[in-house]
Amino acid sequence: MAHQFWIGSYSPQSHGKSQQHDNHGSHHDFPHSPGHQGKSDRSTEKTSTTSLGPLGMETVTTLCKAPIASLDGLEDIPSNPSSGQDFGKENFETNGRMETHVPNGHTSMPTLRPQSRGLGTAPGLKYRNLGKSGLRVSNLGLGTWVTFSSHITDEQAEEVIATAYESGINLFDLSEVYCGFRAEILLGKVLRSRGWRRSSYVVTTKLFWSHKSEERGLSRKHIIESVRGSLERLQLDYIDIIIVHKADPMCPMEEVVRSMNHVINSGWAMYWGTSRWSPAEISEAYNNCRQFNCITPICEQTEYHYFQREKTELHMPEMYNKLGVGLIAWSPVLMGIISGKSDDGIPSFTRASFKKKYSSLNSAEEDSIGKEGPPWYGSGNPRHISDDGKNNSDRLSELALLAEKMNCTSAQLSIAWALKCDAVQCLLVGAATSSQLHEQIQALQLTTRLTTNMMNEIERILENKPVRAPMISTLALR
């Protein structure tokens, strides 16, 4: 469906010529009159008529077809003049992103512009609906595992939060167990001292874990007590999204969804979501919500980086299309390993370096990360060798060379690569200092330079693109 609109232009012409044109019976005042319809060209999308305008000037009126206006187009318009986006370049929109055509033979890559401090929305930052809800979140969010760790002072943490907010990031993710409740307490103090409008930011916190093993789980008692405790520590009237950190096989799904529904109906939270749930568990929760008339989850938090791709790229698009569940991805730089700041171990002040301190979560994989490094890194770990026998650290070295050619860091390339995935609606990044956060925000500018050829080159290096298993017909097996 298209709207019709009229564009009028005036050109100096003789009055007699215009009057003579009028005397021939041209229906210029009413384009839908029979005379006009008989002369219109059905093969084109515009029709021109001529009439006498004011001051004896000839009016050329053109009927054009225009698409219905959509607010989605506003995502590609910078919110402030200082964003520096050049609309004079040849570009086009693909799946909500602006792609720039690079001439063939162009070898030098432009340097990423430093993020201006305190000037508003960062270049490339966009806001999208989370899942099929009405909640709008920035495509880059701040994860606070490292920001509120014990190694970081309160002043440094507040500076990181302020930098994120001033850059346009509106989603802050944390958990009740981050640094022994310190994360929620400090974030609440920062939000209250800064005096930001409550409607301008989104706070997500997670529940399930506890510092005492007998207090963990998803029972109605634990869910309600955890939410009340988080509200008290954050000093907020409500939490935007409550994330269930892990599925509980010992608790009925009906109890979980009814408890989350009670939390939302009580005004303690606006939405709820899941983290590290399998597609089957998400579907079970959705079906229980429909059966018992409860509010459905709007998002899933999942790990997404070079070496963890299957769930995000294959299963989450299906969850979104069928159930309306959006995706918040975390750890795009593999807990700091992909940053390339250390060639022989885990870099300092990264999430992986803090894992050992929080090994009380009683996860075998998390304990191994704190002792040996993540399963994708370290020659002592057999999972460090992929199925084709190629060392994953060699792949990271090749990607580092590619990042050098593009005048960016390895971390920026990894973040931009993750943002190119259509399923990712919000990508969580972590930072210990404001300079680290500025560096990661600059990766937003890199997404337009990741052309099809660049993405194919990354796929050639990784050689791990997930492929959906072929459908097997039961009739063919009979």
pLDDT per position as a tens digit, 263-293: 999 999 999 999 999 999 999 999 999 999 9
Coil, strand or helix: which one is 73? helix
- pLDDT band (50, 70, 90) for residue 393: confident
> DSSP label at 293?
T
Strands 47-52 and 326-330: unpaired
Point out which residues pair with 204 in neighbouring strands.
173, 241
Percent of the chain with pLDDT over 70: 63
CA distance linking residue 169 with residue 196, whole number of Å: 13
Which tens digit of pLDDT belongs to each residue from 216-275? Answer: 889 999 999 999 999 999 999 999 999 999 999 999 999 999 999 999 999 999 999 999
CA distance linking residue 140 with residue 169, whole number of Å: 6
Count the Cβ atoms, other than its own, within 10 Å of residue 232: 12
Same domain for 52 and 194, yes or no, is: no
Q: Which domain holds residue 51?
A: 1-16+45-66
**Predicted local distance difference test score (pLDDT) of residue 390:** 64
Q: Tell me how many domains the chain contains.
A: 2
Marked catalytic residue, from 165, 178, 320, 377: 178
The residue with greater pLDDT, 395 or 19, is 395
CA distance linking residue 304 with residue 353, whole number of Å: 19
Catalytic annotation present for 377: no
Same domain for 202 and 344, yes or no, is: yes
In a domain, 282, yes or no: yes
In a domain, 355, yes or no: yes
Tokens 């075998």 sit at which residue? 364
Interaxial angle between packed helices 182-194 and 220-234, expressed in degrees from 0 to 180 and rounded to the nearest 10: 40
**Predicted local distance difference test score (pLDDT) of residue 334:** 87
Which tens digit of pLDDT belongs to each residue from 420-430? Answer: 999 999 999 99
In a domain, 103, yes or no: no
Joined together, the tokens standing for residue 274 give 């899941």
Joined together, the tokens standing for residue 246 give 């892990």
Same domain for 246 and 358, yes or no, is: yes
In a domain, 374, yes or no: yes
The CATH number that applies at residue 195 is 3.20.20.100
CA distance linking residue 310 with residue 169, whole number of Å: 27
In a domain, 25, yes or no: no
In a domain, 30, yes or no: no
At 69, which amino acid appears?
A
Same domain for 61 and 128, yes or no, is: no
pLDDT at 440 over 70: yes
Same domain for 278 and 387, yes or no, is: yes
Tokens 């005036």 sit at which residue? 10
DSSP, residue by residue, 76-137? GS-SSGGG---TTS-EEEETTEEEEPPPTT--PPPPPPPPPTTSSSPTT--EEESTTSS-EE
Cβ atoms of 202 and 236 closer than 8 Å:
no
Cβ atoms of 262 and 271 closer than 8 Å:
no
**Predicted local distance difference test score (pLDDT) of residue 101:** 41
Cβ atoms of 330 and 302 closer than 8 Å:
yes
Same domain for 54 and 134, yes or no, is: no
In a domain, 402, yes or no: yes
**Predicted local distance difference test score (pLDDT) of residue 477:** 72
Non-local (6+) Cβ contacts of 83 within 8 A are: 120, 121, 122, 123
CA distance linking residue 349 with residue 160, whole number of Å: 14
Which tens digit of pLDDT belongs to each residue from 288-338? Answer: 999 999 999 999 999 999 999 999 999 999 999 999 999 999 999 987 788
Same domain for 356 and 428, yes or no, is: yes
| Sign of the CA dihedral running 439, 444, 449, 454 | positive
pTM metric for this prediction:
0.70
Same domain for 60 and 130, yes or no, is: no
CA distance linking residue 402 with residue 73, whole number of Å: 32
